[in-house]
């Protein structure tokens, strides 16, 4: 593992804004290290898993979304949608720095940069893109809404709970059917599997995986990968109460 957590974070919260600005290299302490702006959530885990899979040097900057740090002007320059994750790669195209927001775009960027987990063959790439976009537009947002209504909504909204939990169940069924035909979503292990893993884990809090044996087998198989285990642990300490 080539990760380092950089403290203090170069990001200041909305409520205590921002003399802080990001330097050209995003606050890198090691030359060339990818700067990961992150909180340990399912969307954050996609990128920590990918970086662990790639073995690239990276430095993690916590952006505490419980303290509104995602609204800090310095962070918005990297991630105008005020959401984690985002990365800054000091060695982007042409050897110049590049920042990327949106977890799907980050996975594709890192896949293209390294030639790993994102095949160049067009048919294989289309399959990866299909399941990646399926995760970005379906499994992620619907599981996020299910989490909201089941765990965090300030009032009990049975209709919201039912609507999103049932949609998550439907999506897990779609994945189960696919995984009855192929070992991984796009046949070979790819950024599509990386994108889905943390969201299936999250969804399994509301919808047990037992009725979906192909999905459960995939979840166990992917979860055994050492890089997935390391990626899921990145920043776990940040969640602990002070």
Ligand X SMILES: N[C@@H](CCC(=O)N[C@@H](CS)C(=O)NCC(=O)O)C(=O)O
Binding site for ligand X (CB under 6 A): 41-43, 65, 70, 82-85, 102-103
189: how many CB neighbours lie within 10 A of its CB? 18
DSSP letter assigned to residue 60: E
Question: Closest separation between CB of residue 72 and ligand X, Å?
Answer: 12
* Nearer to ligand X among residue 44 and residue 212 (C-beta): 44
For 92, the token pair is: 């982007």
* Nearer to ligand X among residue 99 and residue 187 (C-beta): 99
Question: Closest separation between CB of residue 197 and ligand X, Å?
Answer: 14
Give Cβ neighbours of residue 114 (< 8 Å, ≥ 6 apart): 54, 56
- Looking at beta carbons, which pairs linking 210-217 to residues 24 or more positions away fall under 8 Å? 212/172, 212/173, 212/175, 212/176, 213/176, 214/176, 214/177, 214/178, 214/179, 214/180, 215/172, 215/175, 215/176, 215/179, 217/179
Question: Closest separation between CB of residue 164 and ligand X, Å?
Answer: 15
Question: Closest separation between CB of residue 201 and ligand X, Å?
Answer: 13
Integer Cα distance of 225 and 231 in angstroms: 10
* Nearer to ligand X among residue 128 and residue 216 (C-beta): 128
* Nearer to ligand X among residue 70 and residue 176 (C-beta): 70
> What is the chain's Cα-based Rg?
18
Question: Closest separation between CB of residue 58 and ligand X, Å?
Answer: 17
Structural contact between residues 5 and 235, judged by C-beta atoms closer than 8 angstroms: yes
* Residue 87 exposure: Cα atoms within 13 Å on the Cβ side: 31
Give Cβ neighbours of residue 185 (< 8 Å, ≥ 6 apart): 127, 128, 131, 175, 178, 179, 192, 193, 196
Question: Closest separation between CB of residue 15 and ligand X, Å?
Answer: 13
* Nearer to ligand X among residue 43 and residue 48 (C-beta): 43
Question: Closest separation between CB of residue 192 and ligand X, Å?
Answer: 14
* Nearer to ligand X among residue 198 and residue 212 (C-beta): 198
* Nearer to ligand X among residue 103 and residue 108 (C-beta): 103
3-class DSSP assignment, residue 180: coil
């Amino acid at each position: 593992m080539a990760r380092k957590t950089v403290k203090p974070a170069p990001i200041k919260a909305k409520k205590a804004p921002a003399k802080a600005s990001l330097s050209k290299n995003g606050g890198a302490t090691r030359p060339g290290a990818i700067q990961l702006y992150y909180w340990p959530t399912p969307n954050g885990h996609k990128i920590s898993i990918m970086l662990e899979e790639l073995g690239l040097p990276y430095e993690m900057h916590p952006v505490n979304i419980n303290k509104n740090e995602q609204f800090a002007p310095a962070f918005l320059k990297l991630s105008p949608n005020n959401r984690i994750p985002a990365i800054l790669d000091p060695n982007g195209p042409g050897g110049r720095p590049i920042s990327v927001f949106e977890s799907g775009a980050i996975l594709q960027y890192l896949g293209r940069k390294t030639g790993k987990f994102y095949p160049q063959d067009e048919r294989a790439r289309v399959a990866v893109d299909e399941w990646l976009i399926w995760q970005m537009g379906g499994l992620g947002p619907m599981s996020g809404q299910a989490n909201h209504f089941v765990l965090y909504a300030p009032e009990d909204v049975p209709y919201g709970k039912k609507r999103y939990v049932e949609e998550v169940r439907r999506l897990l069924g779609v994945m189960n059917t696919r995984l009855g035909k192929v070992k991984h979503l796009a046949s070979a292990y790819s950024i599509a599997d990386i994108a889905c893993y943390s969201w299936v884990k999250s969804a399994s809090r509301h919808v047990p995986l037992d009725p979906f044996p192909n999905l459960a087998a995939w979840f166990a198989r992917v979860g055994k990968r050492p890089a997935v285990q390391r990626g899921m642990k990145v920043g776990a300490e940040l969640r602990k109460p002070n």
